[in-house]
Structure 1
């Protein structure tokens, strides 16, 4: 074989011979050897012979070098790593195959589902395109979710995917106001639209049904949290043909990437156009303020129940508003049959529970009621999640809630007695229930408690109960002007507003059940030169959003936000104010609670003061007592409080039409309080908060016991008694 005489090649041969005397030029093979990554003729960096000094042939060196490489197992260079690299080491190919949409091992990841861990042998045998993947909430949302909201999203997902109750795919989100139910449901919708353990969307479309006043709010919230990722379709009003066309286009959408996957629609519009929506299927339906479905006999309930939507979520901060049968309707809507039929539920649960809750119940009835209550809670808790607003104490400033009893003025007292003698409404009550004929009498007394001006026209016309009452008004009385001193509550309100305006920079929300009362407020504010805004049922949805935004801006001068509880009792965010006055009570405690939650919610920076005004010894105190009975029932069933006090029997409704002028507070008298001496509380309750039974609140008939300086300065006007309670302990001062 001819050797190259090139100087570079000669130097190489000399060096090889010096390094290894046994080396000789290999003979060229007839056929070229295949190209390998390792050259067997190179001298290895480390000796490969078995023993020191032992000589090896070049072939043995090559084999031993290859074996040393193959004997090293694959090791992921990150300690305790179980991600895609670790799976790839076991033979799972991720590139182009199934994988989680978001990193399940990232910091703060909210993992809703973890696929079962398979052995290396099972992974090799498994079909790589059918392996389940993690379901992870989009980090865009998970990083803003608070701990209780993360728990809520996980609960919702497990319910609607049938993992909590096999064969059932619905649930009730019963968190109290201000806990972020909307955000939790948006996180659920977005997760279902994009992910599932099968690495494909769980649903194609979702429908959100809400009161008309909240349609725009839902649209804004989706945009706030998801931006341009989702384009929702919001419908509330318009021509019939246009709405039908939009709904038809929505229902006809198909495929993995539906252009408009979320429909937001009002209850009224849904009911009127249900025939279009019934023609197709949707993956999820969410009913906001779902207590609207408490009556399973109304058209809206039937229209929604007929919808082809297996997964159902009902949102209601107050699932029990009046009775247990309404509660049954809500649970039955999301999970049909879980509590049997309505008749079965009434016999099995409602009757024994209510019998045991009555103040006059025997010990046997109480024990039987408690057993049925526990059984009901055990069934419902699998599909209902409930957190109270005390969670907000971790994130919000303190809230001081005060029930203020105000004495009637001499004119109010005379008119009240006159009406009871003339109308004699007690005879119209049957079996302790409010008859239709007595509703007018109740309304008249409630308006009289607000201000005599509200019943002046009835006195002029001499309506039943007010015949001859016109002579009781002052001779120079002018119905076109408002005289605050003729009403105890209006007098207290006048002082609260004046002191707040002159001593603080706080704003006030003023709530009433009657638009006529709002009209009186306007007269008062014009005379006092207060700047105000008003929201009632006559205002359009678009205008509502504008005035709310304007009022919440601290640079704008509006001092008072007047609110009709029926028009804006839910969904509104009025954190621009930190004082709220409930001028008159509602029979339904849920309505009052909804209205009072407008200021103490996410975003509030100042301490909040809630004033609930009642006329002492009148029907308004009876309404408060009835609220306490309903709230006790709700606490037992929804909040699982078994030690709620039983103060009022159902038969006491007959006392609605009485007037007790010889008391500081009829409600306090009925509590038979053992903590008070001479009208002053000497043993404050332990561990009570605003969610506790009213009998556990602190109370006083002396202004010195109050923390609120505004109410202290207003006391001598007409205040007789105050129940007051703080939401939580102030961590900075250690005080309540």
Structure 2
């Protein structure tokens, strides 16, 4: 089930579970037990949704914490149930807990396994995929709003999980589909290669459509409020510009990228520049240590600088964010979701909120599963005073329902555009009543074209390589 975000995939699956647990052509239940596997941040959400729609007709069991012995006992009780009407037919469990306790669940069989945010299974070699794939289940449903993350082989893993053999083996799939499709999309491809690639893509779509449903958010356009997405280009501050120029002069990975070589140090350099564009404090420790690219950079910081203070005036993005929050707070009653890939940025958000006296909540990977569900529910309440919800895209960028807010700021872009799409869909979804505003903050280029051109050419090589791998053609 590959419907775009916000189209009610959870409700559709709850309907499916209820139907199969209660009826069949033989006038008896089609299945006896269901396992729902989801990211840890969504376990409690699934439990609440089942309770909301089915009330007390079906009793689910949600495992979101506890000792190993306690979890094993609950799993044994669930998997050992038999009969037409078992007491607790639905188990909701996280991917991590399933993997750690898979041997208990493998002792029995279930009628249906539902994998939420199923793009977690894009790698058929990882332990979670293997643990789920060996589960004795009659039926499998995989849910993902962004089924293609990076390349076609990952997409093959998802299709193979729900319908084993429909695309052959991984080697057969690569030879028959992936190679000709990629060859046809190459910048230097001939007309013959392009035509062959298009034909193979059409053939692949016709096969996959037998076990896939994909609907876009256009369905909701007449039911949901307007969504306004704005790309905000932020000018670098003088400090950021000087640090950026210094790095370009010193960094050796620039030379290797220009020669067409991608190394670990090259990608590390791009990450350093991403952090610099977010806020100079994120690379302050590198400057203190005099690491490659930042030798002598400490002298560029203002006298008495301390990385413990937020100092928004030193970052173009942070200045823009400060303005957005101030205007939103003073002129509207809207709430705001702040999204970043880095917990260090969330720390800066916290400092800014404390300085401006904004009430906020924060969700990242350190928060327990139970607490995540509580703060989401509290934030969505109109009577709750919290103004800002800080969100780590890695910990809560998928599946969360944050309709209590109608403004979302993407502070930094992800390498994978699918992750950004997931994060932006947290506010514009079913249940939203207000006009939604999405702000994507990007740093503008430097003023000196001579300095920038070499680095831009080098970085464009990386993204050119990725564009060959990204089957959606998004760069």
Structure 1 residues 520 and 353 mapped into 2: Cα distance closer, same or farther (>3 Å)? same
**1:477 Cα offset (Å):** 2.5
Residue number among 419, 422, 428 corresponding to 1:600 in the alignment: 428
Q: What is the aligned partner in structure 1 of residue 452 from structure 2?
A: none
- Whether 1:633 aligns to 2:471 is yes
Which of 440, 445, 468 is the matching residue for 1:617? 445
TM-fit CA distance, 1:209: 0.8
Which runs of 5 or more residues in structure 2 are unaligned? 447-454
Does 1:189 pair with 2:27?
no
Aligned to 1:347: 175
Partner SS for 2:295: coil
- Using the TM superposition, name which of 428-437 and 619-628 deviates more: 619-628
Note the alpha carbon deviations across 1:61-90, whole angstroms, 9 max, x for none: xxxxxxxxxxxxxxxxxxxxxxxxxxxxxx
Q: Following the alignment from structure 2 to structure 1, what is the Cα–Cα distance between the partners of residues 90 and 258?
A: 49
In the alignment, the residues of structure 2 paired with residue 197 and residue 647 of structure 1 have an alpha-carbon distance, to the nearest angstrom, of 45
Native 8 Å contact 2:151 2:470 kept in 1: no
Structure 1 unmatched ranges of 5 or more: 1-172, 635-645, 649-736
C-alpha distance 623-485 of structure 1, shift in aligned 2 (>3 A): farther
Q: How far did 1:622 drift?
A: 6.1
- Residue 613 to residue 466, structure 1, CA distance change in 2 (3 Å): same
Give the number of the structure whose alpha-carbon radius of gyration is greater.
1
- CA drift at 1:631: 11
SS at match of 2:390: strand
Match of 1:411 in 2: 239
Change (3 A) 1:264 1:452: same
**TM-score, normalised on structure 1?**
0.61
The more displaced of 473-482 and 570-579 is 473-482
* Cα distance in 1, alignment partners of residues 186 and 332 from structure 2: 46
Aligned: 1:401 with 2:229: yes
Partner residue in 2 for 1:497? 325
Q: Per residue, is there more helix in 1 or in 2?
A: 2
Q: Spell out, residue by residue over 1:590-626, the C-alpha distance to the aligned partner (whole angstroms, 9 max, x if none).
A: 2111111111111111100000001123899969977
* Superposed displacement of residue 647, structure 1: 8.6
1:246 is matched with 74
1:498, CA displacement in angstroms? 1.1
| 1:725 corresponds to | none
- How does the TM-score come out when normalised to structure 2? 0.93
Residues 130-149 of structure 1: matches in 2 within 5 Å? none
**SS at the partner of 1:603?**
coil
C-alpha distance in 1 between matches for 2:380 and 2:461: 32
- Aligned partner of residue 109 in structure 2, secondary structure: coil
CA distance in 2, matches of 1:647, 1:382: 26
2:44·2:62 contact (CA, 8 Å) conserved in 1?
yes
Partner of 1:468: 296
Following TM superposition, by how much is the alpha carbon of 1:428 offset from its aligned partner in structure 2, in angstroms? Answer: 4.4
Q: Over the residues paired in the alignment, what is the CA RMSD in angstroms? A: 2.3
Aligned partners of 1:179, 1:454: CA distance in 2, in Å?
37
Aligned with residue 201 of structure 1, among 11, 17, 29: 29
- Residue 518 of structure 1 is matched in structure 2 by 346
Q: CA contact under 8 A between 1:586 and 1:623: conserved in structure 2? A: no
CA shift, 1:355, in A, is: 1.7
Is contact 1:404–1:611 with CA below 8 Å preserved after alignment?
Answer: yes
SS at structure 2 position matched to 1:511: strand
Higher relative contact order (CA 8 A, sep 6+): 2
Which of 270, 273, 293 is 2:121 aligned to?
Answer: 293
- CA separation of 1:586/1:346 partners in 2, compared to 1, >3 Å: closer, same or farther? same
Relative distance call for 1:626 and 1:505 in structure 2 (3 A) is farther
Give the number of equivalent residue pairs.
Answer: 465
The answer for the alignment partner of 2:449 in structure 1 is none
Per the TM alignment, residue 431 of structure 1 is displaced from its structure 2 partner at its CA by 8.4
Flag the 1:195–1:337 CA change in 2: closer, same or farther, 3 A.
Answer: same
Aligned partner (choices 388, 403, 410) of residue 575 of structure 1:
403
Are the structure 2 counterparts of residues 467 and 237 from structure 1 closer, same or farther at C-alpha, using a change threshold of 3 Å?
Answer: same
Report the secondary structure of 1:283's partner residue. Answer: strand
